[in-house]
């Protein structure tokens, strides 16, 4: 019987992945943890504990006490925030990963999911339809930590047999919990501001194309990868995940189909340089062939759901 630890259950991915895992494995078998309080539905549906992944002794004690077999380690400082505190971001991102890799050696928590990112690529990488295997010279501290993390994950798999699995997530778009500190966050903020003020001041240029994915597709991909037969996994670093590719101007046009008066202005800040160093679109054919990656949302269908759900959420808060 699987007993699952989610580290970072209060964040953008964790707040949705925890509930999806509870549906599959049973509420009591999915232990939600974070250093901050989670949304009410996580508290109401199963166990929640305050746990700091950077405290290795506590982490090990927790995993042994609750007989954890799988870990989803979602703790990270994202790209924009990491540029403000480079040394700390490196320390947090790497220690969080290394502690869960060591946990896999020291306990029964042998299966580990860890999110990588399109940030592993850099300005010298081919920007369009970026291949799985290509030049990787990231120039952001977040990207450097993600690339190093992928190498460590593969190393622990080969050397110690840790069942390390990972996806290079594109920008993730969701309505439940807002992202914090990323470069792709504009694509979430824009929907909130469309509902609140019918206008948005974007921190990226209008023609900045980036790969993005709706959260439902990202959760499905994560669960599918973790369920995949290990014999089918040709990679133990991290799989490219492409989703869709669009610019701020494309999102504004999609929003205007529902809210014709929507206005957007552009005031690029330091995150423009980060976005410019990342791919515009991703080739994820290896993930599709190995374990059946698929996605179902495009910009229009995602926009419809985002506007509807954020509309409901904000009117309930009034």
Active site residues: 142
Between 104 and 275, name the residue whose CB sits nearer to ligand AKB.
275
In contact, 103 and 54? CB cutoff 8 Å: no
Among positions 11, 46, 182, 279, the unique one binding ligand AKB when judged by CB under 6 A: 182
The residue at minimum Cβ distance from ligand AKB is 182
Q: Compute the chain's Rg from CA coordinates.
A: 19
Contact window for ligand AKB (CB under 6 A) among 33-41, 56-64, 111-119, 216-224: 111-119
Each residue 140-159 as x (binds ligand AKB by CB under 6 A) or -, in order, gives: --x-----------------
- Please return the burial class of 318, using the count of CB atoms within 10 Å of its CB with bins 0-12, 13-18 and 19+: exposed
Contact window for ligand AKB (CB under 6 A) among 102-110, 117-125, 190-198, 290-298: 117-125
CB neighbours (10 Å) of residue 238? Answer: 27
**Least distance to ligand AKB, CB of residue 157, Å:** 22
129: left (phi over 0), alpha (psi -120 to 50) or beta: left
The DSSP output letter for 76 is: -
Contact between 184 and ligand AKB by CB under 6 A: the answer reads yes
Contact window for ligand AKB (CB under 6 A) among 45-53, 116-124, 220-228, 251-259: 116-124
Between 26 and 86, name the residue whose CB sits nearer to ligand AKB.
86
Residues 46-105 that bind ligand AKB (CB under 6 A): 78-79
- Give me the DSSP letters along 17-73: HHHHHHHHH-GGGEEEEESS---HHHHHHS-EEE--TT-HHHHHHHHHHTT--EEEE
Residues in the chain: 318
Block residue for tokens 């403000």: 84
**Rounded to an integer, what distance in angstroms lies between the CA atom of residue 293 and that of residue 224?**
7
Between 10 and 117, name the residue whose CB sits nearer to ligand AKB.
117
Contact between 118 and ligand AKB by CB under 6 A: the answer reads yes
**Rounded to an integer, what distance in angstroms lies between the CA atom of residue 200 and that of residue 18?**
31
Contact between 18 and ligand AKB by CB under 6 A: the answer reads no
Contact between 171 and ligand AKB by CB under 6 A: the answer reads yes
Q: H/E element holding 131?
A: none
In contact, 51 and 35? CB cutoff 8 Å: yes
Contact between 117 and ligand AKB by CB under 6 A: the answer reads yes
Among positions 99, 183, 237, 281, the unique one binding ligand AKB when judged by CB under 6 A: 183
Question: What number of chain residues touch ligand AKB (CB under 6 A)?
Answer: 11
**Least distance to ligand AKB, CB of residue 141, Å:** 11
**Least distance to ligand AKB, CB of residue 83, Å:** 10
Contact between 279 and ligand AKB by CB under 6 A: the answer reads no
- Paired with 74 in beta bridges are none
Interacting residues toward ligand AKB by CB under 6 A:
78-79, 117-119, 142, 169, 171, 182-184
């Amino acid at each position: 019987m699987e007993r699952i630890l989610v580290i970072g259950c209060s964040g953008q991915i964790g707040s949705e992945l925890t509930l999806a895992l509870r549906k599959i494995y049973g509420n009591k078998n999915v232990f939600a943890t974070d250093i901050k309080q989670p949304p009410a539905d996580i508290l109401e549906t199963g166990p929640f504990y305050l746990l700091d992944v950077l405290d290795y002794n506590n982490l090990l004690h927790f995993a042994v006490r609750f007989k954890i077999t799988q870990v989803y380690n979602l703790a990270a400082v994202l790209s924009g925030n990491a540029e403000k505190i480079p040394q700390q971001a490196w320390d947090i991102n790497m220690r969080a990963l290394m502690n869960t890799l060591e946990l896999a050696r020291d306990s029964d928590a042998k299966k580990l999911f860890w999110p990588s990112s399109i940030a592993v690529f850099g300005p010298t990488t081919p920007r369009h339809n970026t291949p799985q295997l290509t030049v990787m010279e990231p120039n952001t501290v977040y990207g450097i930590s993600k690339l190093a993390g992928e190498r460590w994950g593969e190393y622990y798999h080969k050397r110690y047999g840790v069942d390390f699995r990972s996806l290079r997530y594109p920008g993730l778009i969701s309505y439940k919990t807002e992202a914090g500190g990323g470069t792709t966050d504009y694509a979430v903020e824009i929907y909130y501001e469309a509902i609140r003020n019918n206008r948005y001041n974007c921190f990226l240029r209008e023609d900045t194309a980036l790969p993005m994915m709706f959260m439902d597709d990202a959760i499905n991909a994560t669960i599918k990868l973790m369920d995949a037969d290990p014999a089918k996994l040709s990679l133990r670093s991290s799989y490219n995940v492409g989703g869709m590719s669009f610019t701020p101007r494309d999102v504004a046009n999609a929003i205007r189909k529902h809210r014709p008066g929507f206005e957007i202005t552009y005031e690029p800040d330091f995150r423009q340089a980060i976005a410019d160093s990342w791919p515009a679109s991703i080739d994820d054919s290896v993930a599709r062939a190995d374990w059946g990656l698929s996605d179902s949302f495009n910009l229009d269908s995602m926009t419809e759901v985002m506007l509807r759900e954020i509309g409901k959420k904000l009117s309930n808060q009034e």
